[in-house]
Amino acid sequence: QSVLTQPPSVSAAPGQKVTISCSGSSSNIANNYVSWYQQLPGTAPKLLIYDNNKRPSGIPDRFSGSKSGTSATLGITGLQTGDEADYYCGTWDSSLSAWVFGGGTKLTVL
Amino acid sequence: QVQLQESGPGLVKPSETLSLTCTVSGGSISGYYWSWIRQSPGQGLEWIAYIYYTGSTKYNPSLKSRVTISVDTSKNQSSLKLSSVTAADTAVYYCARLIGNTFDYWGQGTLVTVSS
């Protein structure tokens, strides 16, 4: 059972938009920055979004992040088959004194 | 471009100590925090620990009693030791650079299987 809650899976058609939620609490998301990671099949996680809504160099603006209260959201527009991956949210948990991640969401582009 | 490479035995016997090394290239280990994260087969990510280049550390409370993390600035390496391993410690182990609140660079990961 992960500290941060993500839907196990989401799906959408190519070209469409999808959002992935990440629900936490006052000890983690509400008071700390959230980052998002993309893990393509058989590869290491890759940073997608940091500090709630910032994109590293090289990440297309199809990817966006937001945070409100104890929840964060990853948005992906103009879906491509190459976006099929597992997506994880992560943040620091002040009560646990540990970094915590969501359980991951598998994105299927139909 | 910073690159991280994990190395170490792929097979460890139960009750023994898992030892891994992360070698950083394309940049200095100094000035940054370095972390270890693992992923059990088919499962999510679990943070293990982080270390500052000066040697200060922070461990996941759930693993703290069994984990030691260290850094060697002369070799640009970070190391992880996990003692008294069981099958539950079978996982892909990643090293990653921690900057601010973000793991910005990750190694490719190394699979460690605990089995007799």
User: Which of B33, B102, B106, B111 would you mutate first to test chain A, the one with the most A CBs within 10 A?
Assistant: B102
Taking a C-beta distance cutoff of 8 angstroms, is the pair B23, B74 a contact? Answer: no
Q: What is the pLDDT of residues B20-74, one digit of tens each?
A: 999 999 999 999 999 999 999 988 999 999 999 999 999 999 999 999 999 999 9
Pairing of strands A18-23, A71-76: antiparallel
Does the beta carbon of A103 lie under 8 angstroms from any beta carbon of chain B? yes
Closest CA to A72 of A17, A24, A107: A24
pLDDT of residue A1: 80
Q: What is the mean pLDDT of each run of 10 residues along chain A (110 residues)?
A: 94 97 97 97 96 96 97 98 97 95 96
Taking a C-beta distance cutoff of 8 angstroms, is the pair B38, B46 a contact? Answer: yes
Using CA atoms, how far apart are residues B101 and A104, in angstroms rounded to an integer? 19
DSSP letter for A28, please: T
Q: Which residue has 């929840």 as its token pair? A: A71
- The burial class, CB within 10 Å (0-12 / 13-18 / 19+), for B57 is middle
Q: What is the pLDDT of residues A13-25, one digit of tens each?
A: 999 999 999 999 9
pLDDT of residue B42: 86
Q: Which residues of B touch A35 (CB under 8 A)?
A: 101-103
Using CA atoms, how far apart are residues A50 and A37, in angstroms rounded to an integer? 9
Smallest CA–CA distance, residue B113 to chain A, in Å, is 17
The answer to whether the CB atoms of B101 and A33 lie below 8 A apart is yes
**Backbone torsion region of residue A49, taken as left when φ is above 0, otherwise alpha when ψ lies between -120 and 50, otherwise beta:** beta
